[in-house]
Amino acid sequence: MEIKDKLEDKKSRETSRFLSFFKKIGINIKTSFKNFVNRFKDGSIGTKLSHFFMGAGNFYHKQFIKGVIYLSIQIGFLTLLIASPKVNNTPIGFKSLVNLITLGTEEGSFELGIPTDNSMLMLLFGVIVIGLLGMFLAAYLSNIKSSYKADLDVKANKKPTTFKEDIASMLDERFHTALLTPAIIGIVTFTILPTIFMILIAFTNYDKDHQGEELISWVGFENFTNIFSGTGEIANRFLPVLIWTLIWAVFATATNYIGGILLALLINKKEVKGKKLWRTIFVLTIALPQFITLLAIRSLLRTDGPINQILMDLGLISEAIEFLGNANSPWLARGMVILINIWIGVPYTMLMTSGILMNVPTELYEAAQIDGATKRQAFFNITIPYIIFVTTPYLITSFIGNITSFNVIFLLTNGGPKVSGGWQAGETDLLVTWLYKLTIEQKDYNLGAVIAIFTFIITATATLLTYRRSKAFKEEDAFQ
Amino acid sequence: MMNNSNEQNVKKYKSVKTSKSVSTIISYSLLVVLSLIWLIPIIWILLHSFRAEYNGEFFVGVVVGDYFPKSLGLENYISLFKDTLFLTWFINTLFVSVFTFILSTLLTLSVAYVMSKLKFKARKTFLSIAIILGLFPGFMSMIAIYYIIKAIGLSQSLFALILVYSAGSGLGFYVAKGFFDIIPNSLMESARLDGATNSQIFGKIILPLSKPIIIYTALLSFIGPWMDFIFAKVILGEEPERYTVSVGLYNMLFGSQPDENLFTVFAAGSVIVAIPIVTLFLSMQKYYVEGVTAGAVKG
């Protein structure tokens, strides 16, 4: 009974930790709404007016520049929303919100000179307008806050801050805002916005048959059911690619991890001289661009290349082996890419392990020595467990890295050997290289987006696991 | 036991000595074999960039079965600059990498500094979000950006590539943060007492102390565009004048109009790209090891 209770308790703690995140959000929303109401009740006339005309409170407190900035934000945004100016013949404004739902209705007519609605642009503008709406809301709230803050300053017999002081605070108390803003803008426009856009495309019929002068429409989960549960060719191809991706990730991670640790231990042996030189030889692999080394290896392994020639000269084989493209033995190509990946990946783990070996806490060895442990015992009971303990988070990140590793497969085999009618997915294609082919070569953007979302979910799950692990890691400090 | 322990010790010492020298020999021979395996492709490319073989009057640039070339010359290097757009690609890559390293260094260092030294309300939240976003594969956002480029019909340009390379760099702040974490807070506190503002502390105290990490961040982001292949291939489209070296060299062998006879020219181009990159990389190997280790341990 007791154990069961404990387990239950642990479980409920885990869930509560998870729920507390959402609770916090809920509380935040609640308090900000309360503050919103309170500010309206307690604020000066200026603050009250700020709820309708942005910047009014700032004018009231003679903070003219700030007032003008807020007012122009409001005027600018409302003008954009109402006027919905056309960019590339597609309106951006409140009409975008309507267009986001319809994705365009005008099929266009060549004779009458009416262009077809540009569905993709409508989708993009819809997302952008929603984003702008969010930003406007933030500006609106900050406008009220700034006026309310000036109210409080006046109440406390202080002067409301001048614009100059505000700027100065950006370089001092609010320096973090100044430093973070450019990075956040970059991440929002180049990571978050595109990702949202891509996710939405997965729910449309934007494929190779809907290019150019064709309207695109929402299709719900059709693409997902086509890939995951359909009986079509693409559904048949999905499972093998997924399984091979996982096999690849497991083997690529394991071989690099074990190989790298062994190599580091070998180089770090006491009797080995010239450690720096040995390390540098292997580090060359990291320093050289992969498009050079991988294409070199691909050429070395050609049927008319040197490796086959040498093997034939030595009499080990009678005819040239097609290492990377033999459609009859896909496992040869698969084995080869995992093998070659050792060449690429082992030096990273070697470098990392070398760094860790230098940082093994010396107290551990001293304690072991006092207890009378031999060197060998110290090695197996301290060094090895320490390395494994410290590198566990790395194992998970490198597993994620291997699921999305693109270069090795693309540059070595380009996914080949080919599978007939395999929706372009060859025998060594991973989800990401297949995704590349589906989108960039075949222009089936919707299917590509589904694969992308799926890969995203796999990696995100693993990422969250890592994150929690590494956090637990910091808190527990089991080794110290 | 105690009486003959001396004799035993001598015996033990001898056997330890021989087993030690055996293990030394094994270690070295293993290292030599492994080094050879690791060097074979690299030396091969280097050798064949100087290969100058003729079949009658035709230049032979294809992959041949011999590991060592029969005759050497500079033909490939001459042809690289005369017959291909390599110089343009080289200048393009230089252009992209200079702007990328300026933008990325600024973004990375400012995010790292904020996360390490400035205390504000939402710091923890930002840190968590940044770590989670930073672990997401960059490949995904690249494909996503490609969708947007397609939707807008944006001309696929070097500027787009610069933005793609540097915009997300704020997320790669981890190594630099580790560096800033080591700088003692007392330095900042005493400056504060003297009336310095946060920006003055950053500009006049922290940055001068941070030379190593600035160099590390700058060099790594400078090297990035020379190493990258796929972002450039996706973003730059089909115009050969806009290629970077990686796309240009790849397309020689595997583009829409591949030319097998260009293999040795490809090798020459690879060597020219590799020499400065490898030199830069090896010169900052120490920092790189620290970065790799720190990143791995922190997860």
> Do B33 and B84 sit in the same domain of this protein?
no
pLDDT at position A4: 58
Cα(A207)–Cα(A353) distance, rounded to whole angstroms?
46
pLDDT at position A386: 85
Q: Categorize the per-residue pLDDT at B21 as very low, low, confident or very high, splitting at 50, 70 and 90.
A: confident
Q: Which of A172, A299, A439 has its CB closest to that of B146?
A: A439
The alpha-carbon gap from B118 to the nearest alpha carbon of chain A, in Å, equals: 7
Q: Which of B167, B277, B293 has its CB closest to that of A356?
A: B293
Q: Which of A195, A309, A355 has its CB closest to that of B290?
A: A355
> Do B99 and B220 sit in the same domain of this protein?
yes
DSSP 8-class letter at B135: H
| CB pair distance less than 8 Å for B230 and A436 | yes
Q: Show Cβ contacts of residue A221 under 8 Å, excluding neighbours closer than 6 positions.
A: A203
Q: Show Cβ contacts of residue B27 under 8 Å, excluding neighbours closer than 6 positions.
A: A266, A269, A271, A272
Give yes or no for a contact between A271 and B24, defined as CB atoms under 8 angstroms apart.
yes
Second CATH level (architecture) for the domain A230-476: Orthogonal Bundle (1.10)
Hey, of A190, A297, A358, which one would you mutate to test binding to chain B, going by the most B CBs within 10 A of its CB? A190
For A477, phi and psi rounded to 5 degrees? 50, 45
What's the mean pLDDT when you consider all of chain B?
84
**Cα nearest neighbour of A305 on chain B:** B65
**Is the minimum CB–CB distance between A140 and chain B shorter than 8 Å?**
no
pLDDT at position A479: 42
Mean pLDDT, residues B243-269 taken together: 90
- Which ranges constitute the DSSP H helices of chain B? 5-49, 75-83, 86-117, 123-135, 138-152, 158-167, 174-182, 185-193, 198-200, 207-209, 211-227, 230-236, 245-254, 263-283, 285-298
Q: Which of B45, B167, B229 has its CB closest to that of A290?
A: B229
Q: Which of B40, B74, B108 is the last residue of a domain?
A: B74
Treating both helix axes as pointing N-terminal to C-terminal, what angle do A275-287 and A330-358 enclose, rounded to 10 degrees? 130
Q: Which of B41, B136, B263 has its CB closest to that of A459?
A: B136
> Do B15 and B129 sit in the same domain of this protein?
no
| CB pair distance less than 8 Å for A186 and B168 | yes
> Do B17 and B164 sit in the same domain of this protein?
no
Question: Which residue has better confidence, A26 or B275?
Answer: B275
Measured between beta carbons, which residues in chain B are less than 8 angstroms from residue A456? 136-137, 140
Hey, of A166, A206, A292, A357, which one would you mutate to test binding to chain B, going by the most B CBs within 10 A of its CB? A292
**Cα nearest neighbour of B167 on chain A:** A186
* Tens of pLDDT, residues B197-252: 888 999 998 999 888 888 888 888 999 999 998 889 888 888 889 999 999 999 99
Measured between beta carbons, which residues in chain A are less than 8 angstroms from residue B237? none
Q: Which of B74, B101, B127 is the last residue of a domain?
A: B74
Q: Domains in chain B: how many in total? A: 2
Identity of the amino acid at A151: D
> Do B123 and B63 sit in the same domain of this protein?
no
pLDDT at position A477: 40
pLDDT at position A21: 67
The alpha-carbon gap from B225 to the nearest alpha carbon of chain A, in Å, equals: 10
pLDDT at position A3: 58
**Interface A:B, Cβ pairs < 8 A:** 283
Q: Is the ipTM of this complex over 0.90?
A: no
pLDDT at position B125: 81
Stated as kind and residue range, the H or E segment containing B53 is: strand B53-55
pLDDT at position B134: 67
| CB pair distance less than 8 Å for A299 and B113 | no
Q: Categorize the per-residue pLDDT at B7 as very low, low, confident or very high, splitting at 50, 70 and 90.
A: low
> Do B259 and B160 sit in the same domain of this protein?
yes
| CB pair distance less than 8 Å for A287 and B153 | no
Number of alpha carbons in the 13 Å side-chain half-sphere of residue B228? 28
Measured between beta carbons, which residues in chain A are less than 8 angstroms from residue B167? 186-187, 189-191
Count Cβ neighbours within 10 Å for each residue of B105-142 and write b for 16 or more, e otherwise.
bbbbbbbbbbbbbbeeeeeeebeeebbebbbbbbbbbb
Q: Which of B42, B63, B249 has its CB closest to that of A284?
A: B42
> Do B45 and B91 sit in the same domain of this protein?
no
Q: Which of B38, B120, B270 has its CB closest to that of A282?
A: B38
**Is the minimum CB–CB distance between A276 and chain B shorter than 8 Å?**
no
The alpha-carbon gap from A178 to the nearest alpha carbon of chain B, in Å, equals: 9
480 residues of chain A, pLDDT tens digit each: 455 565 566 556 555 655 666 777 788 888 888 888 888 888 888 888 888 999 888 889 888 899 999 999 999 999 999 998 888 788 888 888 888 888 888 877 777 777 788 888 888 899 999 999 999 999 999 899 888 888 888 888 888 888 888 888 888 888 888 889 888 888 888 888 888 888 899 999 988 888 777 888 899 898 998 888 877 788 888 999 999 999 999 999 999 999 999 999 999 888 888 888 999 999 999 999 999 999 999 999 998 899 999 999 998 888 888 888 888 888 999 999 999 999 999 998 998 888 888 877 888 888 888 888 888 888 888 888 888 888 877 888 888 889 888 899 999 998 888 887 777 888 999 999 999 998 888 888 899 999 988 988 888 787 777 666 655 445 444 443
| CB pair distance less than 8 Å for B23 and A406 | no
Stated as kind and residue range, the H or E segment containing A65 is: helix A64-83
| CB pair distance less than 8 Å for B278 and A287 | yes
| Lookup result for tokens 């760099």 | B169
**Is the minimum CB–CB distance between A172 and chain B shorter than 8 Å?**
yes
Between the alpha carbon of residue A347 and those of residues A274, A279, A353, B35, B50, the distances in Å are 17, 8, 10, 11, 28
pLDDT at B299 > cutoff 70: no
> Do B114 and B220 sit in the same domain of this protein?
yes
* Tens of pLDDT, residues B133-185: 766 667 777 777 887 777 776 666 888 889 888 887 888 887 788 888 888 88
Paired with A238 in beta bridges are: none
* Tens of pLDDT, residues B74-89: 999 999 999 999 999 9
Q: Which of B74, B108, B128 is the last residue of a domain?
A: B74
User: Does the N-terminal peptide bond of residue A417 adopt cis geometry, omega within 30 degrees of 0?
Assistant: yes
Other beta carbons within 10 angstroms of residue A25's beta carbon come to 10
Two structure tokens written together for A170: 């950006």
pLDDT at position A172: 84
The alpha-carbon gap from B277 to the nearest alpha carbon of chain A, in Å, equals: 7
Hey, of B139, B222, B275, B277, which one would you mutate to test binding to chain A, going by the most A CBs within 10 A of its CB? B139
DSSP 8-class letter at A325: T
Measured between beta carbons, which residues in chain B are less than 8 angstroms from residue A145? none
Cα(A265)–Cα(A248) distance, rounded to whole angstroms?
25
Window 181-200 of A: residues touching B by CB (8 A cutoff) are 182-184, 186-187, 189-191, 193-195, 197-198
Query: What is the domain extent for residue B165?
Result: 79-298
The alpha-carbon gap from A9 to the nearest alpha carbon of chain B, in Å, equals: 26
The alpha-carbon gap from B4 to the nearest alpha carbon of chain A, in Å, equals: 22
The alpha-carbon gap from A10 to the nearest alpha carbon of chain B, in Å, equals: 24
CB-based burial of residue A309 (10 Å sphere; 0-12 exposed, 13-18 middle, 19+ buried)?
middle
| CB pair distance less than 8 Å for A463 and B152 | no
Helices (H) and strands (E) in chain A, counts: 21, 2
> Do B250 and B146 sit in the same domain of this protein?
yes
Q: State what percent of residues in chain B have pLDDT above 70.
A: 88
Cα(B125)–Cα(B114) distance, rounded to whole angstroms?
13
**Is the minimum CB–CB distance between A19 and chain B shorter than 8 Å?**
no
**Cα nearest neighbour of A402 on chain B:** B137
Q: Categorize the per-residue pLDDT at B6 as very low, low, confident or very high, splitting at 50, 70 and 90.
A: low
CATH of the domain at B112: 1.10.3720.10
Measured between beta carbons, which residues in chain A are less than 8 angstroms from residue B168? 186-187, 190-191
The alpha-carbon gap from B41 to the nearest alpha carbon of chain A, in Å, equals: 6
**Is the minimum CB–CB distance between A475 and chain B shorter than 8 Å?**
no
pLDDT at position B23: 85
Q: Which of B200, B191, B135 is nearest to B168 (CA)?
A: B135
Cα(A376)–Cα(A368) distance, rounded to whole angstroms?
11
> Do B169 and B115 sit in the same domain of this protein?
yes
Cα(A428)–Cα(A240) distance, rounded to whole angstroms?
10
pLDDT at position B2: 47
pLDDT at position B136: 63
Mean pLDDT, residues B36-63 taken together: 90
pLDDT at position A108: 76
Identity of the amino acid at A81: L
Number of alpha carbons in the 13 Å side-chain half-sphere of residue B240? 12
Count Cβ neighbours within 10 Å for each residue of A52-84 and write b for 16 or more, e otherwise.
eebbbbbbbbebeebbebbbebbeebeebbeeb
Window 379-418 of A: residues touching B by CB (8 A cutoff) are 390-391, 393-394, 396-397, 400-401, 404, 406-407, 410-411, 414
> Do B194 and B270 sit in the same domain of this protein?
yes
Measured between beta carbons, which residues in chain A are less than 8 angstroms from residue B274? 288-289, 292
The alpha-carbon gap from A351 to the nearest alpha carbon of chain B, in Å, equals: 6
Treating both helix axes as pointing N-terminal to C-terminal, what angle do B158-167 and B211-227 enclose, rounded to 10 degrees? 130
**Cα nearest neighbour of B139 on chain A:** A404
> Do B245 and B113 sit in the same domain of this protein?
yes
| CB pair distance less than 8 Å for B120 and A285 | no
Domain ranges of chain A: 43-220, 230-476
pLDDT at B9 > cutoff 70: no
Give yes or no for a contact between B133 and A187, defined as CB atoms under 8 angstroms apart.
yes
Cα(A288)–Cα(A104) distance, rounded to whole angstroms?
49
Two structure tokens written together for A418: 């080919």
